[in-house]
Structure 1
Amino acid sequence: MPASIGVLAGMGPRSTAPFVDMLIQACQDLYDARNDMDFPKMHIISLPTPFYPGIPVIDRDMANALKRGIAELVKVGVDLIVVPCNLAHVYFTAMIEASKDIPLLHIADCALRRLPAQITHVAIIGAAPTLESGIYQHRIRAKGKVVVNTIRLQELATELISLVKERGFIDKQVENTWRKVLSEAKQGNADAILVACTDISPLITEDQSLVIIDAAVSLAEAAVHASYSSHCQILTLTGSVT
């Protein structure tokens, strides 16, 4: 039976259901799960956290909220933990401390494994605090790639996240702003976009002129691989999957 997965989601609230769908889809695509008993047991928490687009995060408050959420999953006794929120991984050390040796996947490590070798310029689309932390930039540069980032691109990303939180995914202004994000990335000579915000993930559609890597899908697939592997032995506490 697959190992149980603890999902600390809710950041933002609209991103929880799409991520669970990603997990289910990954079970079907990667392991041909069809019947209810083919799927891993999941414990899902939708956790409110003190994040407000465009406003600096109070690190202590955010870390404490995440630690409380992780502690709830530890108490339940899950076999591995995933946190489908890129900003949360700025506080990965705090979450590891709270996880009590239960494997915890790192979303950035999962996403970077999906970056094609031929890509040279990567635009990261996410919340400002995520980008300011550098958790993606140093991983991308370590692979010899160029990070594409402009003030306008970050302004558009912040606007888009705020709109999604307010209006949802099916909204003309949301769709128009997403198109502006893609256009700005192309103008910066990006040949790939790394979507580093789970609030944005449901907006992704195929774009023939850009490779689009969704960190949320990457995390979901890594979690499913880990779940179906024998008792998570392939995991390490740094979130690496071999």
Structure 2
Amino acid sequence: MTAAHDERVIGVLGGMGPMATLELYRRLIDAVPAARDQGHPRVIIDSNAKVPDRTEALLHDGADPLPFLLDSARTLERAGADLLIMPCNTAHVYAEEIASAAGLPLVHMLQETAAIVPAEHAPVGVLATSATTALGLYQQAFARHGLGALTPEPHAQELAMTAIERVKAGDLASALPPAREAAEHLVARGAASLVLGCTEFSVLLAGSDTDDTHDLGVPTIDPLDALAVAALDRAGVVHRASPDRAPPARDPARPPAAGKGRP
């Protein structure tokens, strides 16, 4: 284990949503082979659930989340963070502004995810918010690595948003059917894998008794896993891949147990 004084402090811009923030922190903990509390890295979390909805802001002229995000980034910097991570895919449209405001590097979840996807898993079906999809955030990230991406047609995108909203409301059981239908739509269109491009989908699968996508016959790529590993790498923390988190793209035959700049 890297000596504590050599490790960098991880700052989390959280609250988007609260359950996704909790799930990211759990994965940071799970990934570190610590024998006692002191073996884990220092993590400072600002979970501000008052940040306005990112999709509403970007697609429907809703309240601007950027001032809230900049305030959170500066708060984390003043608290002692050395690097930033953000468990919200859509909010990465503001990544450059956030990193600049805090004067700290922001580990870019979408870019880290795209970097670990093997060529045979393309084209990648994107399950994400309407803003992430419409702005092409994952399409651009995958294109940088020569990977194609597929997005849902309008009716399936509405299903994805319904699932996201139900997860945010804490109703995981009723979120599963529309999420599964949106996933099946992408597979039918030719997706060779699925990326959980909204952290509510990460929460949904982690909170399910079984992986409701494993029998679709394609791997599932979880950006929260990529972000947790990348953050620990950048923080200088020795980590391990938990048995239920490896490989990064989950084998459909085996259900699991439980940078700066715009993309």
Name the TM-score class by shorter chain.
0.7 to 0.9
Q: 1:4 to 1:45 in 2, by over 3 A?
A: same
Query: CA offsets per residue over residues 15-39 of structure 1, 9 Å max, x none?
Result: 1211110111122xxxx22211110
Specify the alignment match of 2:188 in structure 1. Answer: 187
Where 2:199 maps in the other structure, the secondary structure is: coil
Specify the alignment match of 1:12 in structure 2. Answer: 17
Q: Is the counterpart of residue 202 in structure 1 residue 208 in structure 2? A: no
Instruction: Report the Cα offset of residue 63 of structure 1.
Output: 1.2
Q: Is the counterpart of residue 81 in structure 1 residue 84 in structure 2? A: yes
TM-score by length of 2: 0.79
Counterpart mapping for 1:1-242 below 5 A: 1=4, 2-27=7-32, 32-47=33-48, 48-51=50-53, 56=59, 58=61, 61-100=64-103, 102-149=104-151, 150-169=153-172, 171=173, 173-204=174-205, 205=211, 207=214, 209-228=217-236, 237=260
Percent identity at matched positions?
27
Amino acid at match of 1:132: A
Instruction: Report the Cα offset of residue 148 of structure 1.
Output: 1.2
Query: CA offsets per residue over residues 42-93 of structure 1, 9 Å max, x none?
Result: 1111112111766735487211111011011011121111011111101112
Range that drifts further, 111-120 or 36-45: 111-120
Q: 1:80 to 1:178 in 2, by over 3 A?
A: same
Using the alignment, how far apart are the partners of 1:77 and 1:85 within structure 2? 22
Instruction: Report the Cα offset of residue 229 of structure 1.
Output: 5.4
Range that drifts further, 130-139 or 14-23: 130-139
Amino acid at match of 2:39: D
Q: 1:79 to 1:136 in 2, by over 3 A?
A: same
Equivalent residues of 1:122, 1:193 under 8 A apart: yes
Where 1:113 maps in the other structure, the secondary structure is: helix
Range that drifts further, 72-81 or 47-56: 47-56
RMSD: 2.2
Using the alignment, how far apart are the partners of 2:160 and 2:189 within structure 1? 15
TM-score by length of 1: 0.86
Amino acid at match of 1:188: R
Amino acid at match of 1:12: G
Query: CA offsets per residue over residues 103-136 of structure 1, 9 Å max, x none?
Result: 2111111111221121221111111111222221
Instruction: Report the Cα offset of residue 144 of structure 1.
Output: 2.9
Equivalent residues of 2:12, 2:86 under 8 A apart: yes
Amino acid at match of 1:22: R
Query: Where does structure 1 lack aligned partners over 5 or more consecutive residues?
Result: 231-235
Range that drifts further, 14-23 or 139-148: 139-148
